[in-house]
Structure 1
Amino acid sequence: MNPEFWLERWQHGDTGWHSPEINRHLQEFWPQFNLPAQATVLVPLCGKTLDLLWLMSQGLRVIGVELSPLAVEEFLAEHELTAVVMDTPPLRRYQVDELTLLCGDFFALTPVHCAGIDAIYDRGALVALPSELRERYTEVLKTIAPTAPKLLITFAYDQQQMNGPPFAIQPAEVRRLFAEQSVIELATFDVLSEAGNLRQRGVTALAEQVWKIV
């Protein structure tokens, strides 16, 4: 999947993955990480999620990475935030107090852009990537934050019923991708009744899985 796919989705307002609410699994399971105040959390492929603000409200420094400039601008405008903007090629940095938004290609991310990551929260990044990009994604995470614990949310369904995104990621693949860490399945939920758009696309069974990777 090329970057233009996502840029066009934002341009046309076709952003069905965006939730107008703070993620319930984040609120329930994040306290298990016991991060100290001012710890730094990375949120890959963050869009304009309200989860960024919730993490900040917990006394954390937050770094979101997003491809679309439009998504970043909408987030700032909707929450009446004024950012200091700096070009740090190949990414553009938006700074608002303890929140940093890095706009550009996630795969260009290096430790120079986001040193000192203490934890990672992934609600919609891994499931947005086709299989051929997932290895690259996890390699970037290993490069910038090799020991950081992760809260990961994935979907499991019959991939033959629907083309992603969101893509189906089975438990065996999660364990393979993060084989160098301890992979703990925190919970599994049947969420088909909440996913009308996916039912319309042919999905007949849908599990949402929450993982703690440490």
Structure 2
Amino acid sequence: MDSGFWHEKWTQKELGFHRSQPNPLLVKHFDKLGLSPDSRIFLPLCGKTRDISWLLGHGYRVVGSELVATAVDQLFEELDIVPTISQSGQLLRYSAHHIDIHVGDIFELDQALLGHVDAIYDRAALVALPEQMRTRYAKHLMAISETAPQLLITFEYDQTVMNGPPFAVDAAEVSRHYDEHYEVSLVSNTAVEGGLKGQFAADELVWVLNKN
């Protein structure tokens, strides 16, 4: 899967992954990270998620990474915020009060560009990547965030009946990526109502990862 896949999704407005409301699992479980309201939260591959509005509205600061500039333009339009746009290494940086979004390849985002983050909310990044990229992504995420705590959402389903994304990431894989550096706790496991893409039976899992 290359960057053209995601650019095409946004160009064709094939946004079945986009929710019109904040993710209920974020609302229900975010306090399990035990963060103060002024904490800075990193959302990798954030798109224009409504979760950003929810986090800002609850006093958190947000930093995101997104491949497609169209998504970020729409995010700021929907937030009714005019960002300052600047070049930041190989990336573009959209900035405003309490929000910074880096546009481009997440693997070009380093610790210095990202800055300090208190936690990661990964609702759509690990599951968006094919298997051969997920190990690289997990290592990169830990490196640039200094192994910040995570609220991670994954899906379990029969990968043979549906091509991702979102891809199936089971408990064994979460352990393989993160057990060496985190205490990994499963806090929720629920069936996806109506199935993924409205037809494929799947479970949605919520994990809390705290640094060892």
TM-score range for the pair, normalised by the shorter chain length: over 0.9
- Asked if the contact 2:154–2:169 (Cα under 8 Å) also holds between the matched residues in 1, the reply is yes
State which of 200, 203, 210 in structure 2 corresponds to 1:207: 203
How do 1:1-214 residues align onto structure 2 when only pairs under 5 Å count?
1-179=1-179, 180-195=181-196, 197-199=197-199, 203=200, 205-214=201-210
SS at match of 1:52: helix
Secondary structure, aligned partner of 2:190 = strand
Structure 1 unaligned segments of length 5 or more: list them: none
Deviations 1:131-179 (A, max 9, x none): 0000111111111123311000011000011111110011110111102
* Counterpart secondary structure, 1:31: helix
Q: Percent identity at matched positions? A: 38
One-letter amino acid matched to 2:38? Q
Q: Distance in 1 between matches of 2:7 and 2:185?
A: 34
| 1:24-74 Cα distance to aligned partner (Å, 9 max, x none) | 011111111121232111000000001011111221111011000100111
Check whether the contact 2:111–2:143 (CA below 8 A) recurs between aligned residues.
yes
User: 1:81 Cα shift?
Assistant: 1.1
Give the CA deviation at 1:108: 1.0
Which stretches of structure 1, 4 residues or more, deviate above 6 A after TM superposition?
A: none
AA matched with 1:124: A
Given that residues 7 and 68 in structure 2 are in contact (C-alpha distance below 8 angstroms), is that contact kept between their aligned partners in structure 1? yes
**Counterpart code for 2:53:** L
Q: 2: CA distance between counterparts of 1:152 and 1:45?
A: 13
Q: Aligned partners of 2:195, 2:79: CA distance in 1, in Å?
A: 27
User: How big is the shift at 1:192?
Assistant: 4.5
Residue 194 of structure 2 aligns to a residue whose secondary structure is helix
**How big is the alpha-carbon RMSD for the aligned residues of Structure 1 and Structure 2?**
1.1
Amino acid at match of 2:207: W
Letter in 2 for 1:104: G
Counterparts of 1:147 and 1:4, CA distance in 2: 30
Give 5+ residue unaligned stretches, structure 2. Answer: none
Offset, 1:92: 0.5
The verdict on how the C-alpha distance between 1:79 and 1:145 changes in structure 2, with shifts beyond 3 A counting, is closer
When the two structures are superposed, what TM-score results if normalisation uses the length of structure 1?
0.94
